[in-house]
Amino acid sequence: MAETLLEVARDPKHLGADIGFFSILHTWGQNLLFHPHVHCVIPGGGLSPDHRYWIRPQYPFFLPVKVLGKVFRGKFVHGLRLAFYGKRLIFAGQIQHLSESNNFSSFLRTLFREDWVVYAKPAFGGPEQVVRYLGRYTHRVAISNHRLVSFDGKDVTFRWRDYAHGNKQKKMTVSTEEFIRRFLLHVLPRGFVRIRHFGFMANSQRSALLDVCRRLLQMTPVVLSDACADNTSRLCPTCRAPMIVIERLKPAEVVWRFVSQCFADTS
């Protein structure tokens, strides 16, 4: 998806700019089944190729979603084809027949018969609301404790919202094995990065290009406090933004809080 956004945004027919954004991978739905999808948060515009001015969208909202859908479909199918011929796909059960080259090619052709939908909308409420929302949303696991209703030694019951039927809250009961299977579907491989940055927000050029963006948009420069300027250990090693100390804990306090939380989770 990142390549699609960068490519379409660079096209002078659509925006003609270098954009920046970050994406967040989610793999679950409310029922814990596998539902991989990516959320992208993108500023409404981008830098001109020479970085001399800020380009605003010519469409009602950012980029044409139908164009994004077609480009993404082409790139996704191309990736599937490369993975197939690179022997990196495994077919089992009802799709075992796709391991044959002719069957796989026929399947790929069917993917072009449907429109692929890329959903885009303006930020709800404003940037502050977006930041607050993402702060709660980005680091969640597939299910939190408050949605767990009961466990009788055999089955697990949990709450979920049925978005397909009026966003109604329901309860679902599954066997212990099925609950664990669903939960483990969303455990990412070691070293896999769930939040990624692209364009002028990429780690390699973020500091310099964000300053350019702020200047072109006539935003107030970010000024570090004297304490942060004098003590680099209080800057985030990744984004170099000031880190705020909320509380300092002694080793014994850390152990006590950990033990207390374990007892609270099992009570």
pLDDT tens digits in sequence order for the chain, 267 residues long = 899 999 999 999 999 999 999 888 888 888 999 988 888 888 888 999 999 999 998 877 788 889 999 999 999 999 999 999 999 999 988 899 999 999 999 999 999 988 888 888 777 677 777 777 776 667 778 888 889 999 999 999 999 998 888 889 999 999 999 999 999 999 888 888 888 999 999 888 888 888 888 889 887 766 655 544 444 456 777 776 777 777 777 665 655 555 555 544 444
Is 1 domain-assigned?
Answer: no
Structure token pair of residue 23: 């994406």
Got the DSSP string for 163-178? GGGTTEEEEEEEEHHH
Q: What local confidence, expressed as pLDDT, does residue 205 receive?
A: 85
- CA dist 260 to 144, 145, 246, Å? 18, 16, 20
CB 158 within 8 A of CB 149: yes
In this structure, is residue 155 part of a structural domain?
yes
The model's pTM: 0.71
- Is residue 175 one of the residues assigned to a domain? yes
In a domain, 165, yes or no: yes
Question: Last residue of a domain, which of 157, 184, 211?
Answer: 184
Tell me how many domains the chain contains. 2
Residue 141 falls inside a structural domain? no
Domain annotation covers residue 169: yes
83 found inside a domain: no
**Domain presence at residue 72:** no
Q: Are strands 20-28 and 34-41 parallel, antiparallel or unpaired?
A: antiparallel
> What domain range includes position 246?
225-267
Amino acid at 178: E
Q: Which residue has the tokens 């709800």?
A: 124
